[in-house]
């Protein structure tokens, strides 16, 4: 693995040296952007892991604060169901 650049060594640690060499032969010279998980990915992972922030952060490789931020933004985007709109009919039966 010493013939690989430092970047390619990092890739090889994840996918293996053979796959890295195939990747280099196929995409050599091309810049490839590897995005971090987005909000949809984080929310989906949270739902699948019983809303466990620590597990989600660790498995997706993001910080816990990122997961909390995404969760907060999601909750803020939901309508506040405690507040009636002018179109809601109040249910006075208790």
Q: How much is the pTM?
A: 0.59
Q: Which two tokens stand for residue 42?
A: 């984080």
Task: Determine the Cα angle at 41 with ends 82 and 80, to 5°.
Answer: 5
Per-residue pLDDT of the chain (94 residues; tens, 9 = 90+): 568 999 899 999 999 999 999 999 999 899 988 888 999 999 999 999 889 999 999 999 999 999 999 999 998 888 776 777 777 776 665 5
Distances (CA, A) of 11 to 2, 16, 21, 43, 71: 13, 7, 10, 27, 30
Domains of the chain: 1-34 (no CATH), 39-77 (1.10.10)
CA 5, CA 1: separation in Å to the nearest integer? 9
Distances (CA, A) of 5 to 8, 18, 20, 91: 5, 15, 11, 68
């Amino acid at each position: 693995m010493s013939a690989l650049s430092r970047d390619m060594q990092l890739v090889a640690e994840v996918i293996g040296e053979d796959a890295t060499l195939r990747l280099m032969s196929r995409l050599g010279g091309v810049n490839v952007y590897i995005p971090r998980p987005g909000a949809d990915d984080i929310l989906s992972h949270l739902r699948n892991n019983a809303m466990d922030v620590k597990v989600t952060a660790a498995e997706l490789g993001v910080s816990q604060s990122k997961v909390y931020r995404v969760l907060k933004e999601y909750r803020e985007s939901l309508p506040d169901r405690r507040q009636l709109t002018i179109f809601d009919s109040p249910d006075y039966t208790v």
